[in-house]
Amino acid sequence: MKSKIKNQRSKILGFTMIELLIVIAVLGVLAVAVLSAINPLEQINRGRDTGSRSDSEQILSAVERFYTIQQYYPWMKAADDTDQFDWGSLMTSVTRATGGALIVDVLAAVGSEEIKQSFADRLKDVKYELFAYKKLGTENSPYICFSPKSASFQTEAASRCDGTLPGDWPSSACANTTGCGTKGNCVCLP
């Protein structure tokens, strides 16, 4: 009688090894499904692209403020210099600017102070590049562009390049394998 009660208790009290393995397998399948749905790498890249867009917006605003106050762009020596800036990185020396400084350093320099020096220094240390473009003519806008890393931003850049572009749009922003990586299209502001 005692052994019969003991057998019934052991059946009630615990899980078998097979039951535990089934539960672990189901949890594993659910974990894979959740991870594939949220795609953490895409989320990280989208966050980086959002930061790049924010930095681009700040630089573009600083360039416009600099122009409003100085009456010339930060890549120019003076107002009578040409205002065109061919496709180039904001992190390379601009020979036309005083002392061959970087555009971000001109924007942060004493006298203009359109951006903080700490922001300019951070932009020099990041692992992405911001590109600038300005077609000759006062009616044309300056553009600040970056190479997108996430699929959603790459789709945005491709759809912009496939659509009708403004006349002052930087041609290097579309199908450019040097400035925007192997994907070929930049996200450009404005």
Residue 89 within any structural domain of the chain: yes
Query: For residue 125, what are the domain limits?
Result: 40-189
Measured between alpha carbons, how far is 180 from 81 in angstroms, rounded to an integer?
28
pLDDT the model gives residue 65: 92
Tokens of 158: 């491709």
Residue 134 pairs in a beta bridge with: 85, 142
Span 134-153, average pLDDT: 86
Q: In this structure, how many other beta carbons lie within 10 angstroms of the beta carbon of residue 80?
A: 7
Number of domains making up the chain: 1
Span 79-106, average pLDDT: 71
Q: How far is CA 94 from CA 100, 146, 185, in A?
A: 5, 18, 24
Maximum average pLDDT range among 7-11, 109-113, 142-146 = 142-146
Span 164-169, average pLDDT: 86
Residue 74 within any structural domain of the chain: yes
Q: In this structure, how many other beta carbons lie within 10 angstroms of the beta carbon of residue 154?
A: 20
Contact indicator for 188, 143 with CB cutoff of 8 Å: yes
Residues 6+ apart with CB under 8 A from 13: none
pLDDT the model gives residue 163: 84
Measured between alpha carbons, how far is 141 from 96 in angstroms, rounded to an integer?
19
Q: Tell me the whole-structure pTM to 2 decimals.
A: 0.74
Q: Give the model confidence (pLDDT) of 3-45 as tens digits.
A: 555 555 555 667 788 888 999 999 998 888 887 777 888 888 9
Residue 24 within any structural domain of the chain: no
Residue 106 within any structural domain of the chain: yes
Question: How many percent of the chain have pLDDT more than 90?
Answer: 13
Span 132-140, average pLDDT: 83
Mapping DSSP onto H, E and C, the string for 75-127 reads CCCCCCCCCCEEEEECCCECCCCHHHCEHHHHHHCCCCCCCCHHHHHHHHHCC
Measured between alpha carbons, how far is 91 from 102 in angstroms, rounded to an integer?
6
Q: Spell out the alpha helix ranges (H) of the chain.
A: 2-13, 17-38, 40-70, 103-108, 117-125, 151-162
Residue 12 within any structural domain of the chain: no
Tokens of 55: 């930095």
Residue 108 within any structural domain of the chain: yes
Residue 33 within any structural domain of the chain: no
Residue 178 within any structural domain of the chain: yes
